[in-house]
Structure 1
Amino acid sequence: MLEKHPRNWLTWYDTTERKWHSLRAAKLTSNLVIVAFVGGIIISLLSYYGLLNYPVRRFYAVELAFSVLLISEITSLIFTLSHSVADSVGKQFEVVSLILLRESFKELGHLPLELAWDTAILLELLPILTDALGAVAVFLIIGLFYRIQQHTRITSSVEEQQDFVRLKKLVASVLLVAFLATGLYSLADFVYYGQYHSLLGRFYTILIFTDILILIISLRYSTLYLHLFRYSSFALATVIIRLSLTAPKYYNVLLSVSAGLFVLLVAYGYNRLNRPATGLLKS
């Protein structure tokens, strides 16, 4: 077992999480979204009047605001991991739904303000509609996922449960540092070389290995097939989400919704087949 006395990293993690969920942090996030939105509008106007050397999409301000929101949601996802793996999976799909909405705005930015309603325009509207409807579908699926979720502990004692939580906090701490490092690396690539690499794609790739690591750690406390299958399924869902981020139009929605239905089915089956533990501690 780990030491009962919290180490420096654990104290740092708990302090950081507490500050992140504070009202001050929420206001700061809101202010950053507003700054991004206003900044995006200014950039769009400069591009419109030819004061920039590169074109900017009409809804660039919305895309920029959504990007800041996504970074905020990913940070919340990382902190959720230490409390409940199941809830962190739900957070992943919340991020996916926001990504699909952002993609809809991106596609809208390519269309002229005055549409000529012909067959060609209708075909161009299809990706916008599929992304939007896909976002709604994921939203509904995750709502059901949260509603049927039952947090049963996989450990046999309170001490083991605390030990498991400490290990998850250690993994979440490493994931948080990796996310910040990946963000700085992507920003440096863009500033110095003009190359844009998807931060979300890199993060979800790291998250796949994180989910597998959580699965391996859980084997310390339970080798029951139901628990093993549940954690393995969550890791597979993350892989499918990662594929959806780079998939072509329509397939991205198909993969996202399929992954959502997959975890919903797993959660339903797990709840029906698993006999709930006495103390409903989060696992």
Structure 2
Amino acid sequence: MSLIIEKVHHLYDPLHCLWENKKTQRTVTALLIGVFVSSLLIIELNRINLLPQSLGQVIPTNPFYAVYLAFSLLLLTELISLIFILPCSISKAVGKQFEILALIFLRNAFKELIHFSEPIKLAGQMDAVLRIGAYGLGALIIFVLLSFYYKQQFKRYDTGSGAALFMFVGAKKLVALILLFLFMVLAVYNVSSLVGGHEKIEFFAEFYTILVFSDVLIVLISHSFFPHFKDIFRNSGFAISTLLMRLSLTAPAYFNVLIGVSAAIFALFLAMAYKRSFVEKNV
């Protein structure tokens, strides 16, 4: 088993370094900007009927589609960052999940603008305006809650021997590699479905479903290294918060924001209670 974990470290570490490399991040940023600008240009060409009819039928004419596309790609990069954060800290990974959820709410707010015609008029669009307000408010509340959530993080010193820690981190890296593989499978499937004209899956909802199972797997893995009740409860509670986030992604308008904010409040109180249990122990 130790040999497998060692190979996992050797496979994971170069991938992590490659993704976190400044050159890689600059390249990703340049690609996002390029996609956004080029999609705006293509949409504008379609609006003035300069594209072939075959392309004009499948390319939208509302420029806010470009914003939606750019945000979707940005969220994909954030998901990759989430995968690489997981072995470092479970609590930080949960915080990253909420960061992504807040960005999804902002993306949904921009998506509502697709229903508006040019020039933008509010007449007959009050439902969309209310949804934009709900998504924006939900994202803001999660942003504020996260600032308090991260303040609850603390460094533990009872993490066991070096060998045990090496095995535990290696097991989490193995989970991260599996998540990265499934991420690529979902991405390839969605792209092939889009090209082939087949029905796509809801990418972020499906990936958060996978995250729920990965969280449960980490609960089971961590039980061998941290068998205390408070550790099991915290990790299981984080799995519940991920489940609530997953439910919010497919819930109806307004309810999705309510569930997402409730998940953030739950995670915050869980982190506060967990930190307090250590403070009381050391008093």
Determine if the TM-score, normalized by the shorter chain, exceeds 0.5.
yes
Q: Which residue of 2 aligns with 1:72?
A: 77
Q: Which residue of 2 aligns with 1:102?
A: 107
Task: Say if 2:113 and 2:128, in contact at 8 Å, map to a contact too.
Answer: no
The structure with more helix, counted as a fraction of residues: 2
Distance of 1:89 and 1:159 partners within structure 2: 26
Q: Which residue of 1 aligns with 2:246?
A: 242
Q: Which residue of 2 aligns with 1:167?
A: 171
Which structure 2 residue ranges, 5 or more long, are not aligned? none
Displacement of 1:211 in angstroms is: 0.4
Equivalent AA in structure 2 for residue 6 of structure 1: E
Aligned length: 276
Q: Which residue of 2 aligns with 1:281?
A: none
Distance of 2:204 and 2:26 partners within structure 1: 24
Task: Say if 1:152 and 1:276, in contact at 8 Å, map to a contact too.
Answer: no
1:221-240 matched pairs, under 5 angstroms:
221-240=225-244
| Identical counterparts, % of pairs | 37
Q: Which residue of 1 aligns with 2:96?
A: 91
Q: 1:115/1:19 Cα in 2 relative to 1: closer, same or farther (>3 Å)?
A: closer
How big is each residue's C-alpha offset from its partner over 1:133-173, in whole Å with a ceiling of 9 and x where there is no partner? 11111111112111221232664323211211111111111
Equivalent AA in structure 2 for residue 263 of structure 1: A
Task: Say if 2:219 and 2:236, in contact at 8 Å, map to a contact too.
Answer: yes
Task: Say if 2:5 and 2:171, in contact at 8 Å, map to a contact too.
Answer: no
3-state SS in 2 of match to 1:6: helix
Task: Say if 1:154 and 1:222, in contact at 8 Å, map to a contact too.
Answer: no
Distance of 2:163 and 2:10 partners within structure 1: 18
Q: Which residue of 2 aligns with 1:195?
A: 199
Displacement of 1:116 in angstroms is: 5.1
Distance of 1:154 and 1:199 partners within structure 2: 38
Matched, 1:23 2:22: yes
Which structure 1 residue ranges, 5 or more long, are not aligned? 279-283
Distance of 1:60 and 1:115 partners within structure 2: 14
Task: Say if 2:68 and 2:107, in contact at 8 Å, map to a contact too.
Answer: yes
What TM-score results when the alignment is normalised by the length of structure 2?
A: 0.91
Displacement of 1:87 in angstroms is: 0.3
Equivalent AA in structure 1 for residue 196 of structure 2: Y
Q: Which residue of 1 aligns with 2:2?
A: 2
3-state SS in 1 of match to 2:156: coil
3-state SS in 2 of match to 1:150: coil
Q: Which residue of 1 aligns with 2:162?
A: 158
Q: Which residue of 2 aligns with 1:127?
A: 131
Matched, 1:45 2:53: no
Distance of 1:69 and 1:201 partners within structure 2: 16
Q: Which moved more, 1:58-67 or 1:95-104?
A: 58-67
Q: Which residue of 1 aligns with 2:276?
A: 272
Q: 1:204/1:66 Cα in 2 relative to 1: closer, same or farther (>3 Å)?
A: same
3-state SS in 1 of match to 2:2: coil
Distance of 1:134 and 1:114 partners within structure 2: 27
Q: Cα RMSD (Å) of the superposition?
A: 2.1
Distance of 2:253 and 2:5 partners within structure 1: 51
Displacement of 1:94 in angstroms is: 0.7
What TM-score results when the alignment is normalised by the length of structure 1?
A: 0.91
